[in-house]
Structure 1
């Protein structure tokens, strides 16, 4: 079981929230579909009960984020990170430059366009991909860097009624969306 990939994802999600909302030493609850956890952990479970069993026998209970707790919640797995985990991320994890710039772009301009987002990607690397999402998708386009060291996430964007939103996905989750 590849627990390091999950820990990194948890840290990344907490850091994103801290960039957006600021630091608060409080419990963080993250919700993952079983399919996402299967992909990150490199295992196969069929449902939330099997995933809880797998997580219960893993080494994820005592991490640099503190003691993680797992529960099933409406078909997803809730991972509860104690306040010490939020403090660890705040004190030991640098703000990723691209993510910080992306959040700042949205903070400064709630009406930013996909062209603005493309320009931001290009300012970090000319070697990025911007693809239209399939008809009927929840998003208009997906953007990502070919070199994952710039930023490993896939950013799905949607323009609707004068506003643009984004969601970040792992490569594995993106493959499941397509």
Structure 2
């Protein structure tokens, strides 16, 4: 079902990110989603009853790939417990050429620079958008304009000896209401690249 494709892909992406950062282990993974995020991912406005029903359908749909998911609820948050089969599936299908692998390996290096990070983006696409942010939390917003290889929003913070990032879906990023700064044109982007 099309409603579930973005949720399935998001779960796979989160497990992938975890495995790149922490390494692979054949074990259960717990992922937490506020109800609002689930509705945004599926482009719906379901209430709790509708959401519970649809999540049961979702679990049935992805069982062959990710195993028998268990979902619990606490307040407005849902916990998806993905069994080892799901972690195994993600590990087996993770390409060493994946953008996220390259990005995380680069950003994890000591003395990584903004130039290093941006070079990774441009290695995967010439459709990279960079915005100088005007909030106190992040310095730059970087994303692929055409959504390829992914459509996440990467919020970058440059610190003295390292760089931090947070990755958001488009909908969650917009919902946070971060102030949008200046979109950098190609000349400004080249200046950042040194």
Query: TM-score under structure 1 normalisation?
Result: 0.84
Change beyond 3 A, Cα 1:144–1:31: same
The match for 1:144 is 143
Deviations 1:95-115 (A, max 9, x none): 562111111112322x32323
Separation in 2 of the partners of 1:6 and 1:154?
Answer: 16
Q: CA deviation at 1:139?
A: 1.7
Give the paired residue count: 174
The match for 2:24 is 23
Separation in 2 of the partners of 1:17 and 1:61?
Answer: 24
Greater helix proportion: 2
Q: CA deviation at 1:29?
A: 0.4
**Preserved contact between residue 6 and residue 42 of structure 2 (Cα < 8 Å):** yes
Q: Unpaired segments of 5 or more residues in structure 2? A: 178-194
Deviations 1:49-71 (A, max 9, x none): 45752444423245210111112
**Preserved contact between residue 73 and residue 79 of structure 2 (Cα < 8 Å):** yes
The match for 1:116 is 116
The match for 1:127 is 127
**Preserved contact between residue 130 and residue 141 of structure 2 (Cα < 8 Å):** yes
Deviations 1:119-166 (A, max 9, x none): 222222232111122424x22211001122222221111124543211
Change beyond 3 A, Cα 1:156–1:78: same
Q: Unpaired segments of 5 or more residues in structure 1? A: none
Q: CA deviation at 1:117?
A: 1.6
The structure number with the bigger radius of gyration is 2
Change beyond 3 A, Cα 1:74–1:116: farther
